[in-house]
Structure 1
Amino acid sequence: MIFDRIKIGVICSLLLCGCNRFAREGEFTLMVTMSETDPRNKLYLFYKGENDCARVDSAVYEEGKFMLKGRVAYPQRAVMRVMWGDQRLPEAFEDGVDYTNDAIFVFLEKGEIRVAANKTLRGAVVSGTPSNNDFQVYTDSIRFYRDWLDDYRERFGKAYRDRDGEALDSLNKENIVVKKKKFEVEKKYFDCHPGSLVSLDWLVRSYNIAREKSTILPLFESLSEQVKNSIPGRKYKELLCTTLSVEPGNLAPDFTAEDVMGKNVMLSSFRGQYVLLDFWASWCGPCRRENVNVLRVYERFKEKGFAVVGYSLDSSEKSWQNAVKQDSLPWVQLSGLGVVCVDVAKLYGVSAIPSNFLIDPEGKILAVDLRGEELEKALEQVLESREW
């Protein structure tokens, strides 16, 4: 579905209105029945407690079930995992958890939450409260993806071990097709469940606010007033209104960062030139390979008003500077290793690298994530006919 562009300032003003909400806090009871499990196992629940601090609760297996009680300040998606009692706890759980045997997601909210499982948590049925009933419908809708993923991982592992480039290429293409199908199914769920917190949760997880703000705003507005004015809804509203958009046509957010000599450099100091703001790191193989392309394009257009500003996500100054020398990168190199006033990667919604932004002489973003020939063709269009 294609949405008309919406005036972001007006929408943000509207989003902050309204006071209706789901319950501010709620006591929950989580009951997990399992047909069979090691008696040494414990159930661990990972969620956000007071002041959104990470919290972990646990329960032991008794009489065929785990029972755990707690309180949450607002409804939220949490991770539940069954582990041996003496097993070391992981620091975090996120993407992919719902496709493992020993961990699933569950919604914590006021009421009794029931989970029915067999020998593992995989395929467990969640019910008992409105959001968990909704979440089970969502989970069932994408079950095809989980089942496909098992076979895909096995085939991918074999192709990788055999160094079968043709098979790997075919599998990557298949992955794109199936993930697209999964997204379409999830979007259909979202459209059909505007009054569900599960839909809000999917929206939050599926879009990059900085890069897709104009798409997110109408989607958020399509949710029910109750969902939008819930505590999670209001938190997301505030994030929408405070996050700058880095979509083509908008001004590139300005920032100041230190170069390899420790000197402060402002992005806006490059006004008057076409600038490629390039996010990379020494440990990123695809970034290092793309450096070759960027260098070639830079040498071709540097005398015609084209500049590159590299921004490293390295945590080691030595590794960063060694990579700059090894790749013979002649342009300005910045990083967040010095005194950081702003998280530039977060400001630009960068969640994976390599990533770049082509910025025009007025400071507006022309394009995002141009690679190789795409970058060269874009610069040909704007620079070859430019008069100097």
Structure 2
Amino acid sequence: MLKYTFSFVLILATICFGFSSGDPKGNGFVITGKIKGFSYPYIYFAHTEDGVSKLDSCAVKGGAFKFAGKVSEPEMVFLHTKDRRLQKVFYAENVNMQVEGDINALDRLVIKGSKVQDDYAELETQIQAHRNRVMNLYNASEAAKNAGDSIKMKEILTHAEKLYRMEYDIRMQFILTHPNSPAALQELMVWTNEANYKTAKTLYYILGPEVKSLKKAKEVAQRLDNLETVDLGNAFQDFTQNDIDGKPVSLSSYKGKYVLLEFWASWCGPCRAENPNLKHAYSKYKDKGLNILGVSLDDNQARWKNALEKDNLPWAQVSDLKGWKNEAAVKYGIQAIPANFLIDPQGKIVHRNLRGEELNKVLEKIFN
């Protein structure tokens, strides 16, 4: 389950106020909105403050609203209605910004006033056009299927899937052509994974000095270093976290044994769906030397405990209850779950992200 997130820090609390002009402090942002035909009584502004998720609301009058606050650096924010009919992710920076649109075309809201948002809007347009081309191909393949032409259907479907994977190339090209934009930094964070981190490091080096001075740049650089550290063939990175009873468990306590380090969470559907396969593998190979250490990205102990009891997982489970900021997950460069690493008795990472039948084949080769 992929995680696509944005994080930012508001130094001052975001406020909703009447229709006086400007930010009271004069050095933050003011987001003024006007949406034709907008009849919702309130609109919501999601953000984080000092690492804590916040949700501000503002009364709407005649389709107009206004938020003000301050960001430490240009960052993504989320504007939405309670029923999520309107959902708009965009960049806020400390300037006057305007949101304009029509209730009948909420997917085409325009955000003005921010150069960073202009850059991001350019990328959004390219991505949407690309996805429209992919969707047209999928529709064409379905039409061929309904017409009984299975050969044409497969040809179109193959082309559609190849084109879909090219979205990564669009994001990479955006980074290359916008090295001085904070929006490129965010895209680099999203684009980077264990398979492309070496290319991502090259892209990071070409970013402008002002972009590299941002707080987000330090996060990206750390993630790149972490991905390199836990690449296949490297030694595991040790950590210690408490189990559900508060007892500390260290990954190093498994040294000299095979251990599958499994990152998951109670709220992750694909993770929970994989648990029966893990239980089958564990039952089959535990007496031959397989160990599993689960690391939960939960932030609620009761939900974590309930999931452990419901899924009846017999191996050790730990968590620091920091959610996506779980220190072990950060150390291992985790951006999506489920995720796992198979570590051999010498302490080397020998496989990663083994699922379903692939996991069974690898374990059968090792233990039989």
Both proteins in one fold, TM over 0.5: yes
TM-score (norm: length of structure 2): 0.68
Matched, 1:309 2:292: yes
Distance in 1, matches of 2:316 and 2:160, equals 35
| Alpha carbons 2:75, 2:91 under 8 Å: kept | yes
Matched, 1:333 2:312: no
Name the counterpart of 1:70: 69
Identity fraction in percent: 25
Residue type of the partner of 2:126?
A: S
Deviation of 1:262 (Å): 6.7
Secondary structure of 1:61's partner? coil
Matched, 1:196 2:162: no
Residue type of the partner of 2:259?
A: V
CA deviation string 1:225-258 (max 9, x = no partner):
1211234434544665688842212221212345
Name the counterpart of 1:323: 311
Cα separation, partners in 2 of 1:36 and 1:318, compared to 1, 3 Å: closer
Name the counterpart of 1:207: 192
Distance in 1, matches of 2:112 and 2:221, equals 28
Matched, 1:103 2:87: yes
Secondary structure of 1:122's partner? helix
Deviation of 1:70 (Å): 3.0
Task: Could you tell me which runs of 5 or more consecutive residues in structure 1 were left unpaired when the two chains were aligned.
Answer: 1-24, 89-99, 155-171
Q: Among 199, 205, 213, which residue is 1:229 paired with?
A: 213
Distance in 2, matches of 1:115 and 1:259, equals 47
Matched, 1:271 2:255: yes
Deviation of 1:108 (Å): 1.1
TM-score (norm: length of structure 1): 0.65
| Alpha carbons 2:127, 2:170 under 8 Å: kept | yes
| Alpha carbons 1:196, 1:227 under 8 Å: kept | yes
| Alpha carbons 1:59, 1:68 under 8 Å: kept | no
| Alpha carbons 2:46, 2:53 under 8 Å: kept | no
Deviation of 1:353 (Å): 4.4
Name the counterpart of 1:45: 45
| Alpha carbons 1:27, 1:71 under 8 Å: kept | yes
Matched, 1:122 2:123: no
Cα separation, partners in 2 of 1:173 and 1:58, compared to 1, 3 Å: farther
Does 1 or 2 have the higher relative contact order (CA < 8 Å, sep 6+)? Answer: 1
Deviation of 1:139 (Å): 1.4
Matched, 1:255 2:239: yes
CA deviation string 1:26-72 (max 9, x = no partner):
4223233323221x43333323456776362535334x643443332
Name the counterpart of 2:344: 360
Name the counterpart of 1:141: 126
Cα separation, partners in 2 of 1:258 and 1:72, compared to 1, 3 Å: closer
RMSD between superposed Cα atoms in Å: 4.4
Name the counterpart of 2:79: 80
Deviation of 1:199 (Å): 0.8
Name the counterpart of 2:149: none
Cα separation, partners in 2 of 1:178 and 1:42, compared to 1, 3 Å: farther
Name the counterpart of 1:159: none
Secondary structure of 2:253's partner? helix
| Alpha carbons 2:43, 2:79 under 8 Å: kept | yes
Task: Could you tell me which runs of 5 or more consecutive residues in structure 2 were left unpaired when the two chains were aligned.
Answer: 1-25, 140-156
Matched, 1:29 2:17: no
Matched, 1:183 2:168: yes
CA deviation string 1:326-358 (max 9, x = no partner):
xxx5xx4233389x9x64444434455443211
| Alpha carbons 1:32, 1:115 under 8 Å: kept | yes
Deviation of 1:76 (Å): 1.0
Distance in 1, matches of 2:295 and 2:217, equals 34
Distance in 2, matches of 1:309 and 1:191, equals 41
Count residues in correspondence.
Answer: 320
Residue type of the partner of 2:41?
A: N
Distance in 2, matches of 1:178 and 1:201, equals 23
Distance in 1, matches of 2:91 and 2:255, equals 48
Distance in 2, matches of 1:382 and 1:41, equals 62
